[in-house]
Amino acid sequence: METGFIREKKYYDDKNYPHGFSRSGDYTIHESEVLEDFGTRLSALATGKAQPQTDLEKHFVDVVANPEDFAGELSFIEKTWLKYQRLITEVKRVYILADGNNVIFDEGIE
């Protein structure tokens, strides 16, 4: 049996990252390359659309099903995919601080 992940076409998540993974600021250069190179295959494995063909892919499917069981023994690709899943599913909170007293009105302009 082969080792490693099978490369498929480039993966782009236009819904969550319309400008790409590398421009989002959420991932390192290496993480964004991993998501682009292996994301299509990882997505298919995680959703059950594809069957694992290598030992690493079988381990990945097990990790996605129960990530807390494999806390200390995750590969870089598995950590990156779990980070991606966490970032696209959690609610992003935005805090805006403003003072309503600093409004400027231009009077006398017609």
pLDDT at 1 over 50: no
Residue 70 counted as domain residue: yes
**Mean model confidence pLDDT for the chain:** 86
**Is this prediction's pTM over 0.85?**
no
Provide the domain limits for residue 53: 30-91
Residue 100 counted as domain residue: no
At residue 98, the pLDDT reads: 73
Residue 46 counted as domain residue: yes
* Phi then psi dihedrals of residue 80, to 5 deg: -65, -40
Residue 18 counted as domain residue: no
Residue 66 counted as domain residue: yes
Number of domains the chain contains: 1
At residue 67, the pLDDT reads: 86
Per-residue model confidence as pLDDT tens digits over 76-90: 999 999 999 999 998
At residue 4 the predicted structure's pLDDT band, cuts being 50, 70 and 90, is confident
Residue 12 counted as domain residue: no
Residue 10 counted as domain residue: no
At residue 61, the pLDDT reads: 94
Residue 102 counted as domain residue: no
